[in-house]
Amino acid sequence: MTRTDKVLGNAFLGLVFLFLYVPTICVVVYSFNESPLGTVWSGFSLKWYAALTTDDELLSAAWASLKIALATAFASVFVGTWAGFVLARFRKFRGLTLFTAMINAPLVIPEVIQAISLLLLFVALQQAVGWPARGMFTIWIGHTMLCVSYVAITVQSRLSSMDESLHEVAQVLGATPLRVFFDITLPLISQALISGWLLSFTISLDDVLMTAFLSGPESTLLPIVVFSRVKLGLNPEINALGTLFIAAVTVGVVVNNHLMMKRQRRRDLEMAALRSTP
């Protein structure tokens, strides 16, 4: 690449990153703004963070969201890993096409379709057997359905690119398939599981549509509260909340990335050492 190409390339990337980051930077900066008007800076202040601590509606919604997000993350990792394992290990079985379609469709299908259909299912169930009532349980199922596909695809791609010989060796040495899965497969795909868990957690914490459709009268989650406030325009407390979010996620992503790099470097060193020994 010529020099001008390189400069142009860097400038273009710079613009793209500007586009991606200016909104988040604004949220952070204006969370410390004294003035309640979003775009007029009138001084540094932490009062919006203080306001957050007394905002009961927001706090209780945040707590409920956290519980659901944790439940969703574990459930979707459980189901998603199982589904990904099936996709990777069993090349041919009756209903494979349907199975892959059911895994791929939630990735792309507009969320409103999934939300309406799940709601109708739960209502029909409630008519027929009196359970479940709309609330935390239905939200949990809805969020899990949103996230399962991501986990399944990640696990599937990780498993199919993995060396099968390790599993074969274990089976030859007499381990049952269950043992092979828990002792060999699971540790090897642990990274995929962790990123799947984090992704599910994030998706659940942030979801508006599915939550709105599937929540009952008493269950209010954080995204719903934020959404209803945000529809009316700028809201400085939301800036503070957003900044806290951004800070937590940034720390998490950077730390995770750093750990991943370290693990990768260690793995590369181990492989190199294995290869060099006669």
Partner 1 sequence: MTRRTVSRLRSWLPSGRTLVIAAPFLFLLIFFMVPFAAVVKISFADPQMSIPPYTPIVELKDDSLRISATLAHYRTVLTDALYVDSYLYSLEVAALTTLICLLIGYPACYLIARSDPSRRNLLLMAVMLPFWTSYLIRVYAWIGLLKNQGLINKFLLWTHVTGEPIKLYHNNWGLLIGMVYNYLPYLMLPLYAHLVKMDLTLLEAARNLGARPWQAFFTITLPMSARAIVASSLLVFIPAVGEYVIPEILGGSNSLMIGRVMWDVFSVNNDWPSASAATCALVLLLLLPMALFQRVQRREMTSGL
Distance of alpha carbon 84 from the chain centroid: 17
Sign of CA dihedral 265, 267, 270, 274: negative
- Locate all alpha helices (DSSP H) within the chain, ordered by sequence: 3-31, 47-54, 56-89, 96-108, 111-129, 136-160, 165-172, 177-180, 186-188, 190-206, 209-214, 222-230, 236-276
Segment 176-215, which members bind partner 1 (CB under 8 A)?
177, 198, 202, 205-206, 208-209, 212-213
Query: Do residues 236 and 155 touch, judged by C-beta distance below 8 A?
Result: no
21 near partner 1 (CB under 8 A): yes
Segment 145-174, which members bind partner 1 (CB under 8 A)?
145, 148, 152, 156-157, 160-161
36 near partner 1 (CB under 8 A): no
Segment 96-135, which members bind partner 1 (CB under 8 A)?
99-114, 116-118, 120-121, 123-124, 127
Peptide bond into 132 cis (omega under 30): yes
Q: Which is nearer to partner 1, 27 or 73 (CB)?
A: 27
Query: Do residues 171 and 180 touch, judged by C-beta distance below 8 A?
Result: yes
CB of 30 to partner 1, least distance (A): 7
70 near partner 1 (CB under 8 A): no
216 near partner 1 (CB under 8 A): no
From candidates 87, 180, 193, 221, binder to partner 1 by CB under 8 A? 87
Segment 217-256, which members bind partner 1 (CB under 8 A)?
223, 226-227, 230-231, 233-234, 238, 241-242, 245-246, 249-250, 252-254
CB of 184 to partner 1, least distance (A): 16
